[in-house]
Amino acid sequence: MATSSLAFPSLQVQFPSQRPSNSTAKSFNRRLNFRPITASVSEKPPVPPPAPAAQPVQPPTNLPIRKIPGDYGLPLISPWKDRLDYFYNQGRDEYFKSRIQKYQSTIFKANMPPGPFISKNPNVVVLLDGKSFPTLFDVSKVEKKDLFTGTYMPSTELTGGYRVLSYLDPSEPSHAKLKQIMFFLLKSSRDRVIPEFHTSYTELFEYLENELATKGKASFGEANDQAAFNFLARSLYGTNPSETKLGLDGPKLIGKWVLLQLSPLLILGLPKLLEDLLIHTFPLPPFLVKKDYQRLYDFFYESSTFALDEAERVGVSRDEACHNLLFATCFNSFGGMKFLFPNMLKWIGRAGVKLHTQLAQEIRSAIRSNGGKVTMAAMEKMPLMKSVVYESLRIEPPVASQYGRAKRDLIIESHDAAFKVKEGQMLFGYQPFATKDPKIFDRSEEFVADRFVGEEGERLLKHVLWSNGPETEQPSINNKQCVGKDFVVFASRLLLVELFLRYDSFAIEVGSSPIGAKVTVTSLKMASF
Cite the annotated binding site for heme by residue number: 482
User: 285-299 as b/e, with b when 16 or more CB fall inside 10 Å?
Assistant: ebeebeebbeebbeb
The secondary structure element, H or E, covering residue 309 is: helix 305-314
Compute CA 258 distance to the chain's CA centroid, rounded to the nearest angstrom. Answer: 14
Residues 6+ apart with CB under 8 A from 338: 1, 3, 221, 224, 225, 228, 515, 516
User: Cβ distance 114 to 278 under 8 Å?
Assistant: no
Q: Supply the DSSP symbol for 446.
A: S
Q: For residue 97, which of 444, 440, 430 has the smallest C-alpha distance?
A: 430
Q: Measured between alpha carbons, how far is 183 from 513 in angstroms, rounded to an integer?
A: 32
Residue type, 505: S
Residues 6+ apart with CB under 8 A from 372: none
Q: Measured between alpha carbons, how far is 346 from 340 in angstroms, rounded to an integer?
A: 10
Residues 6+ apart with CB under 8 A from 425: 124, 125, 405, 406
Q: For residue 377, which of 259, 215, 493 has the smallest C-alpha distance?
A: 493
User: Cβ distance 129 to 106 under 8 Å?
Assistant: yes
**Strands, E assignment, 261-365:** none
Question: HSE of 454 in the Cβ direction (CA atoms, 13 Å)?
Answer: 5
Q: Measured between alpha carbons, how far is 179 from 176 in angstroms, rounded to an integer?
A: 5
Residues 6+ apart with CB under 8 A from 350: 447, 510
Q: Measured between alpha carbons, how far is 212 from 208 in angstroms, rounded to an integer?
A: 6
Q: Is 160 left (phi over 0), alpha (psi -120 to 50) or beta?
A: left
Residues 6+ apart with CB under 8 A from 178: 164, 165, 168, 316, 321, 324
Q: For residue 512, which of 277, 262, 266 has the smallest C-alpha distance?
A: 266
Binding residues: 482
Return the HEC string of 456-513: HHHHHHHHCCECCECCCCCCCCCCCCCCCHHHHHHHHHHHHHHHHHHEEEEEEEEEEC
User: Cβ distance 346 to 509 under 8 Å?
Assistant: no
